Structure 1
Amino acid sequence: MNKLETFGTIAAQAARGEISFPTSVNAVLRLQQALNDPDCHLEEAIRLVLGEPQLAARTVALANTSAFNPGGHPITNVRAAVTRVGYRNLQMLVTSLIVRQFGSRIADPNLRAKCEQLWEHTVQVAALASVFARRVTFVNPDTALFAGIVHEVGGFYLLSRADGFPGLLDEDPEKWAELCEDVVTREVARKLALPEPVADVVFQLRGGWLQMPPASLLDTLLMANMYATVPSPLGTAPAPLPEHSESVLDYLVDEATLQVIIEEAAVISESMEQATLV
């Protein structure tokens, strides 16, 4: 089967809803659905987290980072960790765990390296989106962080499938991978039950244009992608902006403020990486 036929097969399967998740992803999806229930109480959340050892470890690790524990008093149990990080951040952790699990079955070392780079890119974009939301666009920073975490779900899924098709994601001048990823992203987003406003932004991102002044979630994610120093290995992210002195954002963000944004995002990114146990 040639590359075009393979992309066509994967896209057709996605369009029919035939998305194949690793067993580990299906387990965490059930946890996500429970946490999304507004009637899910603290005791139930703790029980669910304890039932997923990797998530339990990540939750405790996140609660012990400087972002959530500036006093440095060790948190050693899930109950205290869930209380400290809160439901929003717990849901973000669950989603990031799902995204990361797409790479759990990849055996090819080159694809695993791409998966690692895509995760680094994702974390950086999520962190930048959160800070740009708070300082520039004034959308909800938690929503921006979440959108950053899931904005490459289609790419992660394609990487997980590419392991069975050697050379699938090699040089692709016809851009079939991008077309396939668009179809796949929509179905993966549906399976993950992404909130409609977040899903819409993820769908619009590839062809999106930065509006001036930037004020939407899409603008926030576009800026985060532009300033991310780790590119997507799939070549699907918007191109980086030129030097800041040449950027249209000069009208909104001076050099000193931009540096603060980058530094704040680096702290958030580090906290997220500290909480990631792969």
Structure 2
Amino acid sequence: MDRLEIFRGIATEASKGDLTFPTNVNATLKLQQALEDPDCHIDAAAKMVMAEPLLSARTVAIANSAAYNRSNNEVTNVKVAVSRLGFRTLKSMVASVIVRQLNSKVTDPALKAKAAQLWEHSAHVAALAQVIAKRITKVDPDTAMFAGIVHEVGGFYLISRAEEFPGLLDGDPEDWVEYGEKLIGRGVLKKLGVPDGVMTAVEALWHGVRAMPPETLGDTLLLANDLARVVSPLHQKEGVTIKQTAAAINFEVEGGTLHSILEDAEEEIESLTAALLV
């Protein structure tokens, strides 16, 4: 079976909702322990949830379910989702995620390294998206950060399946973009119940078309992805560095240029990235 055939097979499963998600066991265990502390504040809980992309998506999805969204007001960021759910429901959700983590843990060192790099990339994108949203595009910063956290969730799923198919992630990264990202990624995002607005932004990232200066959530996410200091291991190409790509992107906006705004917000971006990587 060739790589293309495997991609199509996994995509078919994803479209049917036949998915088992791997996640970061240690991060989720820390969250569970923190939730047991009667002094745990909701802000602290939300930050820890955002450190795990799959758990972030699931938290927002459950908050938008009929059982919790009686007022029919869609939640698009983790903090509001945690507030709506309450700690009791969140504890149950975390426990169920941990069980699935233990059954689908990646053991191959090369794949572990890819997963670690992919999360580092996601954290950089999330932090940049939050700052770009707040200072340039004026879209909701928390929603932009959530979109950054989940934008590669299909990649995490594919890495979890790669042990079954040796060599699946070798070769041209364009194969992943064409058959993995758009087909598998869309299936995983739908299964997680990611809000339509965030789904549209992620799909805009796949298509790679944006306004300049950025205007929408999709523009914000695409710009953050291009500026991230750590590249996705699933998109990495030889001979092109992140610094070369980022340095070529600049424009004037109210309050200065992109470069000047990012320089002014550097401490904010770094601290937020570090918090997401804890």
Shared fold (TM-score, shorter chain, > 0.5): yes
- Residue 39 of structure 2 corresponds to 80
Superposed, 1:44-55 pairs within 5 Å as 53-55=29-31
Are the structure 2 counterparts of residues 247 and 92 from structure 1 closer, same or farther at C-alpha, using a change threshold of 3 Å?
closer
CA contact (8 A) 2:133 2:139 kept: yes
Are the structure 2 counterparts of residues 213 and 173 from structure 1 closer, same or farther at C-alpha, using a change threshold of 3 Å?
closer
CA contact (8 A) 1:128 1:262 kept: no
- Residue 136 of structure 1 corresponds to 136
How big is the alpha-carbon RMSD for the aligned residues of Structure 1 and Structure 2? 3.3
CA–CA separation in structure 1 for the residues paired with 2:258 and 2:56: 37
- Residue 191 of structure 1 corresponds to 191
Residue 96 (structure 1) shift: 5.1
- Residue 107 of structure 1 corresponds to 107
CA–CA separation in structure 1 for the residues paired with 2:8 and 2:168: 12
- Residue 119 of structure 1 corresponds to 119
Unaligned 5+ runs, structure 1: 28-51, 61-76
1:264 corresponds to 2:222: no
1:166-186 CA-partner distances (Å, limit 9, x unpaired)? 100001266256312211111
CA contact (8 A) 2:173 2:235 kept: no
| Amino acid paired to 2:263 | Q
Residue 16 (structure 1) shift: 2.4
- Residue 170 of structure 1 corresponds to 170
Residue 194 (structure 1) shift: 0.7
Are the structure 2 counterparts of residues 111 and 202 from structure 1 closer, same or farther at C-alpha, using a change threshold of 3 Å?
same
CA–CA separation in structure 1 for the residues paired with 2:102 and 2:215: 32
For these two proteins, the number of residue pairs brought into alignment is 230
Are the structure 2 counterparts of residues 102 and 193 from structure 1 closer, same or farther at C-alpha, using a change threshold of 3 Å?
farther
| Amino acid paired to 2:31 | L
Residue 257 (structure 1) shift: 2.3
Unaligned 5+ runs, structure 2: 58-96
- Residue 88 of structure 2 corresponds to none
Q: Percent identity?
A: 41
- Residue 221 of structure 1 corresponds to 221
- Match of 1:163, SS state, is helix
- Residue 20 of structure 1 corresponds to 20
Are the structure 2 counterparts of residues 140 and 102 from structure 1 closer, same or farther at C-alpha, using a change threshold of 3 Å?
farther
